[in-house]
Structures are given as C-alpha cells and as structure tokens.
Amino acid sequence: MPAVIAPRYLAIGFAVLAAVLYGISSPVSKVLLDSVPPALLAALLYLGAGIGMAVVSLVQTAGKQTVREAPVGRKDLPYVIGMIVLDIAAPVLLMFGLTMTTAANASLLNNFEIVTTSVIALLIFREAIDQRLWLAIILIVCASILLTIEDMSSFAFSAGSILVLLACVAWGFENNCTRMLSLKDPVEIVIIKGFGAGGGALLLALVAREMTADVGGILAALLLGFFAYGLSIYFYVLAQRSLGAARTSAFYAVAPFIGVGLSFVIFQTPLTVSFAAATVIMIAGAYFAATGGHRHRHVHTLLTHEHRHRHDDEHHTHDHDPPVEGEHSHLHTHEDLVHNHPHAPDLHHIHGHKHQ
C-alpha cells in the first residue's frame, strides 16, 4: 500500500473509534439525568474530558512518550473562542432534549450533525463535497425529519427532538472550528474544550441553581465525560487532520447506532415503524457518506505553518540538517506543488472544485 494512502486508513480508524466512544454518551447520560440536572450534567461531561486529558498530558510529559505537537497560538484564538461557546450550548441543548425524548431517538438524531457539519464546511470553509456525500446528506435529512415528527397522523413535532437537532447545529459549527485547529496538539485542544466549555456550562448550572449532592452521579458523569467526550474528541481531531470536517463527521455516523443499541438494552425502548424506517435510511446515508472520496490534479500554493508531520508523503519534502527520522513538529514551508493523488479535504487540500 502506498505510503500516501496509509494515513487515510489510520484516520478512518480514529474516526470510528471516536464514534464508538461517543456512542455511549446519550443512553448513559439519560440514566444520569435521574440524579444530575441537565445543565450540570453537560458541565460535568466536559470537565471530565478536560480533567482526564490533563492527567494524560502529565503522564505523557513525565514519561516523554510523545512527539512534540504544534501548540495552539494567538492566531487560533477566534476558532478557540467559537469552539468553547458552541461546546457550552450544544451539550446543554442535548441534555434538555434528552429529558423530553428517548435516548435511542436522540442517538439517531445525532446523525443530523453530519448534515450541519458538511453544509457549514461547504458554505463557510469551502470544503469539497462529492456526489455520494450529498446523497448521504439528503438521506440523513429525511431520516431526521421522520424521527422529529412525534405523531405521523397529526404531524406534531417533538420538542425534545428539536432541541437535539439544535444541538447538532451547534456541534456542526463547532466541528468546523475544531477542524481549523486539527493540526495543533489534540490533547491541548481537548483540555481547552473541557475546561472552557465545562466551566461555562457550570456557570449556567449555578445561575439556574441546577446542583446536586449526589457524589456518585457526579463521579459517574466525570468518568463518562473522559471516555465519551475526552478520548472521543482526541481521536476525532486526529481523524480530521487527514479527512477534513465533513468526511470525519460521516464516519462518526457509527456513534448513533452504538447509542441506539445500548438504549434498547438499558431502557427496553419499543421499536416503532417510523423508527425502524429512519434507521434504515440513516444506515444508507452513513454508507454513502463513508464511501465517497476523489482524486484529481490539484495545486498547492505556498504555505507556511506548524504541525506534527513526517517526510514519507508528497507534501513534506523540506530538508533538515541533520536529517530527521519519524514524526516531528516545527514551522515549515510548503513550496508550490502540482500533483495527482487520492485525497480528502484536510488542511493541506483546501482548493476549489469546478464540479462537485
């Protein structure tokens, strides 16, 4: 297998692992909502992510186990602020939505995040979206509408489902902010997300007087946050480096089905016809989203930036004196380059397309 292809498959593995970890969040959060108020639970999930990854960072530093990553800098501040604000809003909306709808329904509706992430990536961040991904978006929108309608005979909309969809919109914007930071240290990004969004949501919980004395519930929420948010976001950022925002969110479509499976086991959720139909449509959408991709002759313009990289691909051909082996990070310049190879819209491939 050519060296240039290998990172894509590794990135797909990271995206699926991130999805599996996040998939446990909705059903387990539904259980925790019995003892922890919604806004406080949202805060604890992100604080658990921040605290857990801070410990991981300390262990890595003490053991000198990691290759140095590019740190988040002053130029990244707008994306950092956007990421934190959206990460405060999204989980709060999701937790309130979970109080009004089933965990299985919320898990499947989370696939709408693919749609919002992709459309925002196209319209604002100029990511390329191919025909298969467009087809996936249409299918997922149809499935999301089907799940949102509470009673097909009266077309009454579920307030809980609408709140979950609004959370997906917030996370769609947040995913694109994170994508612009994806070449930076992923552990640092998760720590910033965790303490920034967790602290903001905790302030909201204090203002709303949504507190609890249930120590067991608090510790469980922090632990869930470390796995379902902290480690999940870490692997998600690694995947975005090679796949871009839209494609990574497509592989993330595995997450809702993990959540649905757990919901059926935990809550014995009844299976309705509309739910089954939406599931089939979602699976079809996820398939088309995950199997797209393209190759063509494209131009790389002069670019100077810093990130973790190696020299066995076509994009990092600069010299070192003395020579450097393996992965490393430093400020480097990409010269003008024209070539043809399979690629995704990562931060090295933000070029326009005449035909999508």
Instruction: Specify the amino acid at residue 123.
Output: L
Residue 230's Cβ-count burial label (10 Å; 0-12, 13-18, 19+) is: buried
Give the residue carrying structure tokens 């302030």.
203
Average pLDDT, the chain: 80
Integer Cα distance of 230 and 224 in angstroms: 9
Q: Is 64 left (phi over 0), alpha (psi -120 to 50) or beta?
A: left
Residue-level pLDDT at 193: 93
Element (H, E) at 327: none
- Check residue 154 and give its pLDDT: 43
pTM greater than 0.95 (yes/no): no
CA distance readout (Å), 182 to 110, 288, 312: 22, 24, 20
What pLDDT score was predicted for residue 2?
42
Contact in structure between 34 and 264 (CB atoms under 8 Å): no
Residues near 225 by beta carbon (within 8 Å), at least 6 away in sequence: 44, 45, 46, 47, 48, 49, 52, 194, 198
pLDDT at 12: 82
Least Cα distance to 244 among 343, 97, 173, 109 occurs for: 343
Q: How far apart are CA 356 and CA 353, in angstroms?
A: 6
Q: What is the predicted pLDDT for the residue at 184?
A: 86
72 sits in the region (left: phi over 0; alpha: psi -120 to 50; else beta) called: beta
Q: Which pLDDT score is estimated for 310?
A: 60
Q: What is the longest distance spanned by two Cα atoms in the chain?
A: 72
3-state secondary structure of 291: coil
Nearest Cα to Cα of residue 293 among 240, 244, 235:
244
DSSP letter at 70 equals B
Length of the chain measured in residues? 356
Could you count the other beta carbons within 10 Å of the beta carbon of residue 84? 21
Q: Which residue numbers in the chain have pLDDT < 50? A: 1-5, 154-155, 349, 351, 355-356
Per-residue confidence (pLDDT) for residue 323, from 0 to 100: 64
The per-residue pLDDT for 250 is 73
pLDDT at 155 (0 to 100): 46
3-state secondary structure of 209: coil
Alpha-carbon gap, residue 132 to 129, rounded angstroms: 8
